[in-house]
Structure 1
Amino acid sequence: MAMHLKRAYEACAPEDGYRILVDRLWPRGLSREAACIDLWHKEIAPSAELRKWFAHDPAKWQEFRRRYAEELDNNPAEVEKLAAHARRGTVTLVYGAKDERHNQAVVLKQYLERTARRPPASNRGRA
Structure 2
Amino acid sequence: MPVQIKRVYEEAKKADGMRVLVDRVWPRGMSKEDAQVDEWLKEIGPSKELRQWFDHDPDKFDQFKVKYKEELKSNEEQQEELEKLKDWTIEHKKDITLVFGAKDEKNNQAVVLKEILDRQQV
1:17, 1:115 → 2: CA distance?
19
2:72, 2:89 → 1: CA distance?
16
CA RMSD of aligned residues (A): 1.1
- Please tell me whether Structure 1 or Structure 2 has the larger radius of gyration of its CA atoms: 1
1:79, 1:62 → 2: CA distance?
20
Letter in 2 for 1:48: K
Residue among 80, 83, 88 paired with 1:85: 88
Which residues in structure 2 correspond to 1:35-46 (within 5 Å)? 35-46=35-46
Structure 2 residue ranges without an equivalent (≥5): none
| Secondary structure of 1:59 counterpart | helix
Letter in 2 for 1:109: K
Under a length normalisation based on structure 2, what TM-score does the superposition of the two structures give?
A: 0.91
Q: Does 1:26 align with 2:26?
A: yes
1:116, 1:8 → 2: CA distance?
24
* TM-aligned CA deviation for residue 40 of structure 1: 0.5
2:2, 2:49 → 1: CA distance?
30
Percent sequence identity over aligned pairs: 52
Letter in 1 for 2:81: E
2:88, 2:36 → 1: CA distance?
16
